[in-house]
Amino acid sequence: MSTTKTRYDVVILGAGHNGLVAAAYLGRAGLSVLLLEKNDYIGGATTSQQVFPDYEARLSRYSYLVSLFPEKIIRDLGLNLELRRRATGSFTPYVREGRHDGLLLSNVSDEESRRSMVELTGNETEHMQMKRFYDLARTFAEHSWDSMLEPLLSKDEFKRRYQNDDLSREAWRSLAEEPLGVVIERYLQNDLVRGLVLTDAKIGIFTHPHDPSLVQNRCFLYHLIGNKTGEWKVPVGGMGAVARELEQAARQSGAELLTRVNLAGLDLSGKTKTVQFEVDGKPSAVEARFLLVNFGRNVLGKYTGHSYQPDSSDEGSVFKINMLLRKLPKLKAAKYSPAEAWCGTFHSDEGYEQMNRSYDHASKGRLPEKTPCEVYCHTLTDDSILAPELRSQGFHTMTLFGIDTPWSLFSRDNQTMRKEAEKKFLESMNQWLEEPLEECLAVARDGSLCIESKSPVDIEDALGMYHGNIFQDAPSWPFAARRDQAGTWGVETEFENVFLCGSSAQRGGAVSGIPGHNAAMKVGSVLGR
Ligand SMILES: Cc1cc2nc3c(=O)[nH]c(=O)nc-3n(C[C@H](O)[C@H](O)[C@H](O)COP(=O)(O)OP(=O)(O)OC[C@H]3O[C@@H](n4cnc5c(N)ncnc54)[C@H](O)[C@@H]3O)c2cc1C
Closest CA to 453 of 515, 483, 410, 497: 410
Tell me, what's the pLDDT at 1?
65
Pocket test for ligand 1, best of 503, 504, 512, 514 (most atoms within 8 A of CB): 503
Low-confidence ranges of the chain (pLDDT < 70): 1
**b/e string for 39-48 if b means 16 or more Cβ within 10 A?**
beebbbbbbb
Distance CA 281, CA 514 (A): 34
> What is the Å distance from ligand 1's center to 511 Cα?
8
DSSP letter string over 114-168? HHHHHHHHSSSHHHHHHHHHHHHHHHHHHHHGGGGGSPPPPHHHHHHTT-SSHHH
Among protein residues, the one whose CA lies closest to atom 6 of ligand 1? 63
Tell me, what's the pLDDT at 2?
82
Burial class (CB in 10 A: 0-12, 13-18, 19+), 164: exposed
Q: How many Cα atoms are found within 13 Å in the side-chain-facing hemisphere of 132? A: 15
pLDDT in tens, 204-218: 999 999 999 999 999
> What is the Å distance from ligand 1's center to 107 Cα?
28
Closest CA to 404 of 376, 431, 375, 367: 367
Ligand 1 pocket residues where CB is under 6 Å: 13-19, 36-39, 44-46, 62-66, 68, 261, 263, 294-295, 299, 318, 320, 459, 463-465, 470-472, 502-503, 508-511
Closest CA to 46 of 262, 256, 263, 246: 246
Instruction: For residue 330, count other CB atoms closer than 10 A to its CB.
Output: 14
Q: Which residues contact 186 (CB under 8 A, 6 or more apart)?
A: 174
Pocket test for ligand 1, best of 11, 258, 295, 314 (most atoms within 8 A of CB): 295
Among protein residues, the one whose CA lies closest to atom 42 of ligand 1? 38
Among protein residues, the one whose CA lies closest to atom 46 of ligand 1? 463
Tell me, what's the pLDDT at 193?
98
Q: What is the C-alpha end-to-end distance of the chain, expressed in Å?
A: 33
pLDDT in tens, 343-355: 999 999 999 999 9
> What is the Å distance from ligand 1's center to 445 Cα?
31
pLDDT in tens, 340-390: 999 999 999 999 999 999 999 999 999 999 999 999 999 999 999 999 999
Q: Which atom of ligand 1 is nearest to the CA of 501?
A: 26
> What is the Å distance from ligand 1's center to 72 Cα?
21
Distance CA 203, CA 267 (A): 36
Sequence-ordered alpha helix ranges (H) in 371-434? 388-392, 414-430
For strands 282-293 and 83-84, give the pairing: unpaired
Q: Are 320 and 453 in contact (CB under 8 A)?
A: yes
Task: Tell me the β-bridge partners of 48.
Answer: 60
Burial class (CB in 10 A: 0-12, 13-18, 19+), 6: exposed
> What is the Å distance from ligand 1's center to 470 Cα?
7
> What is the Å distance from ligand 1's center to 15 Cα?
9
Q: Which atom of ligand 1 is nearest to the CA of 36?
A: 43
Tell me, what's the pLDDT at 452?
98
State which H helix or E strand residue 401 sits in.
Answer: strand 396-406
Q: Are 492 and 482 in contact (CB under 8 A)?
A: no
> What is the Å distance from ligand 1's center to 410 Cα?
20
> What is the Å distance from ligand 1's center to 458 Cα?
13
